[in-house]
Structure 1
Amino acid sequence: MKRIFSKTIKFSRFTVSLFTNEIMLVFIGDKKIYIKNIRLRLPSVDISSLRRPRIKTGRRPAYRPYSSRRNNLPARTKKHAFALAAAILAISYVFSVSPSKQKNSIAPDDETIKKNLLLSKNTDYSSPEKGLKLIINEHTIARGDFLQKIAKKYGVSVETICGTNKITTDGILTVGAVLKIPNKDGILYTMQKGSDLVSIAKKYKVSLKKIIEENDLKNPDFVAANTVLFIPDAKPLNLFSGFIWPSLLRAVTCGYGWRRNPFEPSQTEFHTGLDIRSNFQWIKASKYGKVAYTGWLGGYGKTVVIAHPGGWKTLYAHLSRIIVKTGQHVKQGQLIAMSGNTGRSTGAHLHFEILRGDKNINPYIYFRKKRE
């Protein structure tokens, strides 16, 4: 039976497979796998000499040391074998000992994809649709209605309904009651005697220019009492205005800032969020807003991006399950997904980020503000 030599050696993302008459080189790239076969030309052997019968002479054949047998290879074959071995070692060294170029080519791709997504208008909560005229709808509460269902029907957030009708998110809805629901996110505000637009804009943390443009006010300095104004992107004041912990546990396994690359300890990278210990547990929205993206995001795996008024955005990555859809409005604390180990991850956890515009901010700062 013919014996076939086979041996496989792995160096990071580079694999060398050695066979009797062939060498296979495999490199696993970011988007493609590269395979190179090198066939070896072995020296021809006279088969007739291998079948020559042995004649017993009673004498032992003269012993030949292994070194003398090895030297029977032609000089040209030795030269080619040495060159091939040197090439394999050089390639292995490049991809295993100095992988910085390969790792740097991976991370920027994921970061670029994420940055382009977060800067796109599709994930911008604050920009209103041009030409969309304000319409106040009336909804009569029926049996089986709840705030999330009503908000989804009219395409607004739960906070818009609560703020406009002065109810809480956990309040009981009365069957037959009529709710006023604007077709945009914001709240309706009735001007009080002695109040002015500047104080209202400051109170609800909304641009004064937006209020004037949205209500088409001809004389902003004088607005009569009992005038109903629409405050765009405003939220009810009886809700917590900051960010809450998105997970059940509050154990941070990797903080915000520079760290050692978990895949290549010899390299450093900037960690743009918090890694929170969460072993396939439910994740909730850190702040009310609109789901801007759900799906696979490169090395971040299954990801959810929620856009919030004022240019704020939160990102939840390495998820195992997503239960919200793009375009859906979610309230603060609402379940949105389950943590997991998808993408470029070393174990089950939640990667959480807070962004304003295109700048990442340390989420722990806002969690501390809530405790204070």
Structure 2
Amino acid sequence: MRDKFTITIHDVNGAKQYTLKQIVKKYILYFIGFIILFFIVSTSVIYFLSKEVMELSQKKEELLKQNVKLLKEKIALKQSINEKTSELRELSEKVKNIEEMIGLIPEEKKDFSKRVKELSLTSGQIYHMFKNIPNGSPLKNTIITSRFGYRKHPVNGQKDFHPGVDLRAKVGTPVFSTANGIVEYAGRKGAYGKMVIIQHNYGFKTIYGHLSKIKVKTGDFVEKGQLIGFSGNTGLINGPHLHYEVRYLQRPLNPVNFIRWKKLSYKEIFKKERHVRWESLIKGITLNLQPLIPEQQ
């Protein structure tokens, strides 16, 4: 009977005895041991996970504090930028007033329309003007995707001044000079990517940005309609196009007025672009085209 043991249970009906084998006793003891071990392991795991949760919560609080600090710095930086932008606008207005005082910007006068009518040119003078002053489009097909003036930048999302126009063009579209001139710069430059700057007569300059290839070199003479490069996707840009600028004495002008400028209605630009001293310019053209008078012996 060594391999058996007896369990006695007492109740109201008396005592009852159950005889079990020793192996069953071992199984019961093993089960109890397993339960105790499971409880110990579960308690340890719960404690470890609770500790991890506490550490993660602390890290989360630290990250939230850092985010709040960064947000405050960002707000302060934005306020500083807005203040500087406001100061820059005020300075631009002051510069504009100074330009008006020294005659770079013609003053508004009642007889302006009358003076425009008097600015009549011969066919030779018109031909010379349209050869040497930017006109027409640098592309064969012209579709404007972003206009001249203040806008929200398509890449950084900030509001800034767009000194030219963006023209729709696939990579590799031929780009042509819009007037005779000298290549002032041909190469890569910041947000413009690969660019060409052409210096024209009478204080005008054109800029061609985001090119994929450049076909001219600094110092080259180019004629109106000459190939200077191919449009591309270089610089700070959200898609392939041509950035085109027209400047007069370093001041950006609206290129649309020059793109739409036609010989048959050449006087229209005199009304649209008041920043150019057309009267003085036409006087210069007239003097340049006067036939040379031989000196008397």
Using the size of structure 2 for normalisation, the TM-score is: 0.54
Q: Does 1:273 align with 2:250?
A: no
Q: What's the CA shift for 1:323?
A: 0.8
Shift of the alpha carbon at 1:264?
3.9
1:186-335 matches, within 5 Å, as 237=128, 240=131, 242=133, 243-265=135-157, 267-280=158-171, 281-335=173-227
CA distance in 2, matches of 1:235, 1:82: 72
Classify the secondary structure of the residue corresponding to 1:258. Answer: strand
1:85 matches 2:60: no
Superposed CA deviations along residues 13-50 of structure 1, whole A, max 9, x for unmatched, are xxxxxxxxxxxxxxxxxxxxxxxxxxxxxxxxxxxxxx
Question: Counterparts of 1:89 and 1:365 in 2: how far apart (Å)?
Answer: 48
1:85 and 1:272, CA in 2 relative to 1: closer, same or farther beyond 3 A?
A: same
Distance (Å, rounded) in 2 between the aligned partners of 1:337 and 1:302: 10
How many Å apart are 1:68 and its aligned residue? 4.7
With over 3 angstroms needed to count, the CA separation of the structure-2 counterparts of 1:78 and 1:294, relative to structure 1, is same
1:122-201 counterparts in 2 under 5 A? none
User: 1:241–1:84: structure 2 CA closer, same or farther, 3 Å change rule?
Assistant: same
2:34 equivalent in structure 1: 58
* Amino acid paired to 2:162: H
Q: How do 1:67-78 residues align onto structure 2 when only pairs under 5 Å count?
A: 68-72=47-51
1:42-81, CA deviations, whole angstroms, 9 ceiling, x for partnerless residues? Answer: xxxxxxxxxxxxx993326124498754443698x67863
| 2:261 alignment partner, SS class | helix
Q: CA RMSD in A?
A: 3.9
* Deviation for aligned residue 1:346: 0.7
Does structure 2 conserve the Cα–Cα contact (< 8 Å) formed by 1:249 and 1:276?
A: no
CA distance in 2, matches of 1:340, 1:330: 21
Deviation at 1:237, TM superposition (A): 3.3
2:242 matches 1:354: no
Describe the shift of the 1:318–1:88 C-alpha distance in structure 2 as closer, same or farther (beyond 3 A): same
- C-alpha change, 1:357 and 1:251, in structure 2 (3 Å) is same
Deviations 1:214-257 (A, max 9, x none): xxxxxxxxxxxxxxxxxxxx997396454121012110011111
Higher helix share: 2
- CA pair 72-79 structure 1, distance change in 2 beyond 3 A: closer
**Structure number, greater radius of gyration:** 2
**Identity among equivalent pairs (%):** 29
Give the aligned partner of residue 369 of structure 1.
261
SS in 1 for 2:59: helix
Letter of the 2:159 partner, please give it.
Answer: T
8 Å contact kept, 2:203–2:248: yes
**Partners of 1:246 and 1:92 in 2: CA distance:** 45
Question: TM-score, normalized by length of structure 1?
Answer: 0.44
| CA–CA distance in structure 2, aligned partners of residues 99 and 351 of structure 1 | 33
Q: Is the 8 A contact 1:290 1:308 kept in 2?
A: yes
Unaligned runs of 5+ in 1: 1-54, 109-201, 205-233
For 1:241 and 1:318, how far apart are their aligned partners in 2? 24
- Whether the 8 Å CA contact 2:187–2:194 is kept in 1: the answer is yes
C-alpha displacement of 1:261: 1.7
The alignment partner of 2:238 has SS state of coil
1:254-290 Cα offsets, whole Å, 9 max, x none, are: 111121221244x322111010011120100011100
Contact 1:314 1:355 in 2 (8 A): yes
The residue correspondences of 1:111-122 to structure 2 (distance < 5 A) are none
Q: Deviations over 1:98-134 (max 9, x none)?
A: 6975xx6xxx9xxxxxxxxxxxxxxxxxxxxxxxxxx
